[in-house]
Amino acid sequence: MLRLRFHGRGGQGAKVASRVLGTAAFLDGYNAQDFPLYGAEKRGAPITAFTRISRENIMERGVISEPDIVIVMDETLLSDPQAMPLSGLKKGGIIFVNTPNSPLETKERYNIADHVITLDITKISLDMIGNPVLSGLAAAVASRIVGIGEDAFRGAVEKELSGIISDRELLVKNTEAALYCYNAIMPVQIKTAESIREGENVITIPFEIALVSSPAINATGNTPLRRTGNWRVFRPVWDYEVCTRCMTCVARCPDGCIHVNEDGYPYADYDNCKGCLICVEECPAKAINKVREMHSRSGEGDR
């Protein structure tokens, strides 16, 4: 699995960039997951967006605290103590910085030891599009670093940007600028701790239980304190006679609260299961039944 984190400022397009990358990866045959994280909507405020890419089902949920690749869409974020775009970057990871400076100058200025790639995508955006919206361009450099094919990338740009840009001429300009950036970056061999296959950056990782793979959800101050189990009207109940242990429900639970018992069967953490019943809908074997809660009680998992 590759984990990417985009850092930008409100209005630059970090959220869309993560989306375009996720779609490009999907069109290139991978599984992908992308989502943003921001507080109150405010132009110029630091925002973060994330993309996970894997050959296998993506079991992880929550923010990416240890990325393989960081895309810094605004250089000033590197000295912003709240944004901290380099926090958690894995050893051997890659940092892209949108700057007119060279990689060496950038490393020295910000005291960065890791692999730095630079390109002035703001200038390219202003020259080719006429405004500093960087979504397609940041997605382009990320796609190139990851190793996504050009056809898949082009398809993703056209699909995602056509939904938000109605002006055909502007859409063409965005696509051309994105492809220019894609081809301005050289493919990179990523050397983070999860070693990679020769010539391929996207790898398989073993299954992790939700407490490990979704630490942000399970961390103090999140779901456990809120006891979202109290929200349930129906509870999901597993029929192990029917369950094939495909783990689809584990992957689909938006709160990461389906665990796996010692026999390899899933069960819900009823303290936190909010009863959305996505697991019931998604189970291909119809092995999960919905049972009416007469009163919500926590800690009664059918394990």
User: DSSP H helical segments within 185-294, as ranges?
Assistant: 210-213, 215-218, 223-226, 248-252, 278-282
Of 246, 259, 293, 298, the residue at the interface with ligand SF4 (CB under 6 A) is 246
Confirm or reject binding of residue 139 to ligand SF4 (CB under 6 A).
Answer: no
Q: Which stretch binds ligand SF4 (CB under 6 A): 127-135, 177-185, 207-215, 278-286?
A: 278-286
Confirm or reject binding of residue 62 to ligand SF4 (CB under 6 A).
Answer: no
Q: Which is nearer to ligand SF4, 170 or 277 (by Cβ)?
A: 277
Do the Cβ atoms of 90 and 69 come closer than 8 Å?
A: no
Q: Which is nearer to ligand SF4, 140 or 268 (by Cβ)?
A: 268
Q: Which is nearer to ligand SF4, 7 or 232 (by Cβ)?
A: 232
Confirm or reject binding of residue 248 to ligand SF4 (CB under 6 A).
Answer: yes
Confirm or reject binding of residue 249 to ligand SF4 (CB under 6 A).
Answer: yes
Long-range contacts of 150-155 (CB under 8 A, 24+ apart): 150/179, 150/182, 150/183, 151/27, 152/24, 152/25, 152/27, 152/28, 153/24, 153/28, 153/178, 153/179, 153/182, 154/179, 155/23, 155/24, 155/27
Of 222, 277, 296, 301, the residue at the interface with ligand SF4 (CB under 6 A) is 277
Closest-CA residue to 138 (of 114, 158, 119): 119
Confirm or reject binding of residue 210 to ligand SF4 (CB under 6 A).
Answer: no
Of 8, 62, 85, 236, the residue at the interface with ligand SF4 (CB under 6 A) is 236
Task: Identify the H or E element spanning 238.
Answer: strand 234-238
Confirm or reject binding of residue 244 to ligand SF4 (CB under 6 A).
Answer: yes
Confirm or reject binding of residue 46 to ligand SF4 (CB under 6 A).
Answer: no
Q: Which is nearer to ligand SF4, 148 or 257 (by Cβ)?
A: 257
- CA atoms within 13 A of residue 108's CA, in its CB half-sphere: 4
Confirm or reject binding of residue 196 to ligand SF4 (CB under 6 A).
Answer: no
Of 48, 238, 267, 271, the residue at the interface with ligand SF4 (CB under 6 A) is 238
Question: Are β-strands 2-9 and 46-54 bridged in parallel, bridged antiparallel, or unpaired?
Answer: antiparallel
CB contact set of 65 (below 8 Å; sequence gap of 6+): 87, 88, 215, 216
Of 21, 178, 181, 279, the residue at the interface with ligand SF4 (CB under 6 A) is 279
Which parts of this chain interact with ligand SF4 (CB under 6 A)? 236, 238, 243-249, 253, 255, 257-258, 266, 268, 273-279, 283, 285, 287-288
